[in-house]
Amino acid sequence: MKQTIYFLSIIILMGCSQPKSTSDSSISKDAVSKAMTSDDSLKAIIGANINKQPVIDTVFLGFTFSMTKKQAIAHYAELIKQKKLVMNDQDQHYEYPMIFELAKAKAIIAPEFQGDKLYKLSLLITSAEEVATEETVYLQVATTYMKKYSGFTLFKTSDALDPSEKEFHWVKNNLHIFLHKTVDGSVVSYINLPADKLIDDNKAKEADSAQTQTKKDI
C-alpha cells in the first residue's frame, strides 16, 4: 500500500544567472494554449500507454521507480554531496534550485512508495525571488515541460475546485507527469502508472468490502 508522503530532506536532516525582469512571455502563453486542443479523455490516454514498452524507469535528478526507500535516501544524500541540492538555512530543508527563462525557483522533493519501491516523485516548486510571481513560475514550469516532453502525449484538465485553473498531463508508456497548482505552489509529480493503478485497484476493493460489510451489519 502507498506510504504517506514524507520529505527526504527531513529524513536526511534527522540522521545562477539572473532572469529577465519582464512579465509572462508570449511563448509561455502560446505553449499553454496548445495543451487545450485534445479531445481524448485522460483515462483513455493512460489506458493506451500503461502497458507499452519500453518501461521508463529514470525520472527527475536520477531517481528511479526501481529504487527502494534505502536506495532513494542514499541517492538523495549523493545529490547533496554533489551540491545539486542545497540547504535553505531559513526553512532548514534541502531544495533544488531551478532557473527558468523568466523566473528563479526552488523545489522540494517528496517521494511516495508502493511497498518498498518508489512509485511517485513530487516536486513542490515555488518562486525564489520577489519579482517572479507564483503564476509566472507555473507558466514557466509548464512551458519548460512542454518543450522537454514534446514526445509525450499532452492533455489538459481543469481543477475540480476552480475550473478556470488548468492542469497539465504528459503521458508516455508507464510514466505520467502531472503539473497542477496548489496554495503552496506548483506541483509536478512523476507517477509510475502500473503501480498507481495497483494502488487504486486495492483501494476500490477495500471500499467494496467495507460497503458489503456495512450492508451486512445494518
pLDDT value at position 29? 53
Has residue 3 been placed in a domain? no
Has residue 80 been placed in a domain? yes
pLDDT higher than threshold 80 for residue 27 = no
Q: Between 44 and 6, name the one with better pLDDT.
A: 44
Instruction: Provide the domain count of the chain.
Output: 1
What mean pLDDT comes out for the span 171-196? 97
Has residue 97 been placed in a domain? yes
User: pLDDT > 70: what percent of the chain?
Assistant: 82
Instruction: Give the domain range for residue 91.
Output: 8-217
Q: Between 6 and 166, name the one with better pLDDT.
A: 166
Among 4-8, 54-58, 211-215, the minimum mean pLDDT is found in 4-8
How do residues 108-150 score in pLDDT, each as one tens digit? Answer: 999 999 999 999 999 999 999 999 999 999 999 999 999 999 9
Among 25-29, 43-47, 97-101, 127-131, the minimum mean pLDDT is found in 25-29
Has residue 79 been placed in a domain? yes
Among 36-45, 57-66, 132-141, the minimum mean pLDDT is found in 36-45
Has residue 2 been placed in a domain? no
SS3 track for the chain: CECCCCCHHHHHHHCCCCCCCCCCCHHHHHHHHHCCCCCCCHHHHHHHHCCCCCCCCECHHHCECCCEHHHHHHHHHHHHHCCCCEEECCCCEEEEEEECCCCEEEEEEEEEEECCEEEEEEEEEEECCCCCCHHHHHHHHHHHHHHHCCCCEEEEEECCCCCCCEEEEEEECCEEEEEEEECCEEEEEEEEHHHHHHHHHHHHHHHHHHHHHHHHHC
pLDDT value at position 39? 45
